[in-house]
Amino acid sequence: MTGSLVAWGAVSALSCAALTALAVRYAHRRGLIDQPGPRRSHHRGTPRGGGVAIIGTIVLVALGLALGEPSTRGPVAALGLGALALAAVGFWDDHRPLPARWRLAAQFAVGALVIWSLGGVGAVTVGPWLLAGGYLDLVALVALVWLINLFNFMDGINGIASLQAAFIAAVFALFCALDGDRIGAVLGAIVLGACLGFVPWNFPRARIFMGDAGSYGLGFTLGFLFLWGHRQESFSLVTALVACGVFVVDATLTLSWRLVRRVRWYTPHRDHAYQLLVRSGWSHARVVGAVAGVNLLLVAPGLWWARGVPARELAVGVAILVLLSALWCWVRWHCRRDGPESEKRSRWSDNV
């Protein structure tokens, strides 16, 4: 199976690199340029909307899989239609901002249809406990919408969203392959390849940003993979939460912190931990490298050691999330001490 996964990933990466080049030309022609501002982390006008190449690649390559293997047509159809619908919402928002209520309505509608198409969540194992009931479908729907928006919130510096998604997809593909879930493994490899094909255009220097088209579609795609892996018993939802841990902790704690301070949480800001590090003088590359280090040295080994043992998964998951929360607190203390409000620039800063 390994050779097949590498082939699907390579096709996806090459396709996405080519489509991103077209997206750059389109963005320049249509004037889709993000200009620098006080709530942005870049310092020169940069095209946006490149994430449409990621979603387009995932859908096209997955369609090729479905044409060759009829058994994959059901999951590919659900993944493709859902990703395209939300990418279209994001693409519209990249051109002409949509009210938040319409974006949320679309996310909830697409999420509900996809969960229904997969037959619901079913029973969930959380450590020694087995949870069951229709309420789990509602919980999954809220979690899916949160994941969609989480990637949108965290897509704020060069490379962070695409490389985080690549890490998650790699873990998913590996775990599915080890459990004999070929469909999940191939879909994970396709997502991994698409993300890696986009990275050279967005990191370390950004020639195009992912935009809402990419962040919405990519967040949904990963959520779909998690639901699929859960239904096939090859990827637990606890594992999914921990694999996304860096983003989940930063986005959730930052939102909570803003609510406690009675700040308008829904307005643009640069209060996430990764943004505070940039504001304190770290380069985009250094921050992304730190995130990759946490994933490779903490998250990945923990997931590997706990794989397949529910009680161990829960214990390791809680430990990792607590450590990530402590790291978030340290970043806030460190950046407050160094005075991020000064927007100081150092030799580490990116002119992006």
List, as one string, the DSSP characters of 120-155. Answer: ----EEETTEEE-STHHHHHHHHHHHHHHHHHHHH-
CB 34 within 8 A of CB 40: yes
Length of the chain, please? 352
Determine which of 23-27, 198-202, 348-352 has the lowest per-residue pLDDT on average: 348-352
**Position 282 pLDDT exceeds 60:** yes
Burial of 246 (0-12, 13-18, 19+ CB in 10 A): buried
From the number of C-beta atoms within 10 Å of its C-beta (0-12, 13-18, 19+), residue 346 rates as exposed
Q: Can you tell me the distance from the alpha carbon of 8 to that of 189, in angstroms, rounded to the nearest whole number?
A: 6
CA dihedral of residues 242, 244, 250, 255 (deg, nearest 10) = -100
So what's the pLDDT on residue 338?
53
The pLDDT value recorded for residue 133 is 84
Is the predicted pLDDT of residue 228 greater than 90, yes or no? yes
Q: Which of 6-15, 28-37, 99-108, 139-148 has the lowest mean pLDDT?
A: 28-37
| Both structure tokens of 225 | 């993979």
Backbone angles phi, psi at 180, to 5 degrees: 80, 15
- Other CB atoms within 10 Å distance of the CB of residue 108: 15
Residue for token pair 């060069």: 158
pLDDT of residue 36: 61
Residue 88 is encoded by which pair of tokens? Answer: 């279209």
User: Looking at per-residue confidence, does 268 or 170 come out higher?
Assistant: 170
Query: Is residue 350's pLDDT more than 50?
Result: no
Nearest to 56 by CA among 107, 12, 117, 114: 12
User: Residue 82 pLDDT more than 80?
Assistant: yes
Dist CA 274 CA 224 (whole Å): 26
Q: Between residues 99 and 224, which one has the greater pLDDT? A: 224
pLDDT of residue 201: 94
Burial of residue 90 (CB within 10 Å: 0-12, 13-18, 19+) is buried
| Cα separation values, 35 from 31, 46, 149, Å | 11, 7, 22
In this predicted model, which residue has the larger pLDDT, 47 or 142? 142
pLDDT at 265 over 80: no
Coil, strand or helix at 34: strand
| 262 — pLDDT class (breaks 50, 70, 90) | confident
pLDDT in tens, 106-139: 999 999 999 998 888 888 888 788 888 889 999 9
| Exposed / middle / buried, residue 287 (Cβ in 10 Å: 0-12, 13-18, 19+) | buried
Q: 19-28, 97-106, 311-320 — which is least confidently predicted?
A: 97-106
Residue 340 has pLDDT above 50, yes or no: no
Q: Does residue 319 surpass a pLDDT of 80?
A: yes
What average pLDDT is seen over the chain? 87
**pLDDT at res. 269:** 74
Angle subtended by helix axes 211-231 and 100-117, to nearest 10: 30
Regarding pTM above 0.95, the answer is no
